[in-house]
A and B are shown apart, each in its own frame.
Chain A
Amino acid sequence: EAGVAQSPRYKIIEKRQSVAFWCNPISGHATLYWYQQILGQGPKLLIQFQNNGVVDDSQLPKDRFSAERLKGVDSTLKIQPAKLEDSAVYLCASRRGGRSSYEQYFGPGTRLTVT
């Protein structure tokens, strides 16, 4: 089966600009996650979707970050306006869903550099 797809792979923007990332999860996976991975740290959960509803966005900086998952499939994560500290790799992951499904499958990530 095809894995989690993300685009773009790399993005360089200036501070105060806006940027959007796209994620296509594995077909049939109900749960989708966005993580932020700052250099030298482990991934930190930003937001979790179950189908097209938000389950957990407690760590999402809502003044500048937004995310949506229309129709419960693809998802986009947006940053507006970007700050220098937003430089990181943004990882998307998906999971089939249900209590017997433990594994999250990760995409290759989008590396964002804010200058």
Chain B
Amino acid sequence: AQSVTQLGSHVSVSEGALVLLRCNYSSSVPPYLFWYVQYPNQGLQLLLKYTSAATLVKGINGFEAEFKKSETSFHLTKPSAHMSDAAEYFCAVSEFDSGGSNYKLTFGKGTLLTVNP
């Protein structure tokens, strides 16, 4: 069974500082990995995804993540935080079943990012 662990339920950074949100996964097959962002009272928006191509993945709003198989990690980073980055971030792992028809996401518990002026 696949699972996701997000270290740190709450991360606080200063505006302009580095953002690092941690995600470790467990999967029995080569995984697809995702980061989603959720702003208050909104649905989830895809930031970036890893689907077995380049291990360093660039997403929207200046975010990127690196897939490290040896560490089973997919940490999210942004060099310089902006006030508008304040939101909740979810890491997710997915896999298809053997028949190729059942595709589902398993989410971590989320990390709330606060950006201080």
Closest to A53 in B: B101
Contacts of A33 in B (CB 8 A): 104
A8-30 vs B, CB cutoff 8 Å, 1 = contact: the mask equals 00000000000000000000000
A71 contacts chain B at the CB level, 8 A cutoff: no
Q: How far is the CB of A7 from chain B (nearest CB, A)?
A: 13
Contact B49 A103 (CB under 8 A): yes
Which segment of B39-47, B67-75, B78-86 sits at the interface? B39-47
Secondary structure of the B contact surface, majority rule: strand
Contact of B110 among A42, A104, A107, A108 (CB under 8 A): A42
The reply to whether the CB of B22 lies closer than 8 angstroms to some CB of chain A is no
Most B-side CB within 10 Å, residue of A31, A50, A103, A106: A106
Q: Which residue of B lies closest to A31 (CB)?
A: B103
Residues of B within 8 A of A43 (CB): 44, 90, 105, 107
Q: From the candidates A4, A44, A103, name the one contacting B107 in the complex (CB within 8 A).
A: A44
Rounded to whole angstroms, the CA-CA distance of A102 and B35 in the bound complex is 13
User: Which chain B residues (13-44) contact chain A, with CB distance < 8 Å?
Assistant: 32, 34, 36, 41-44
In the bound complex, CA of A73 to CA of B9 (Å): 36
Pairwise interchain contact A102-B32, C-beta atoms closer than 8 A: yes
User: Could you jot down 23 A-B contacts, CB within 8 Å?
Assistant: A4-B43, A33-B104, A40-B9, A41-B109, A42-B90, A42-B109, A45-B104, A55-B101, A91-B43, A91-B44, A93-B43, A95-B103, A99-B96, A102-B32, A102-B94, A103-B46, A104-B46, A106-B36, A106-B43, A106-B45, A108-B42, A108-B43, A111-B41
Report which A residues bind B (CB closer than 8 A): 4, 31, 33, 40-45, 48, 50, 55-56, 91, 93, 95, 99, 102-104, 106-109, 111
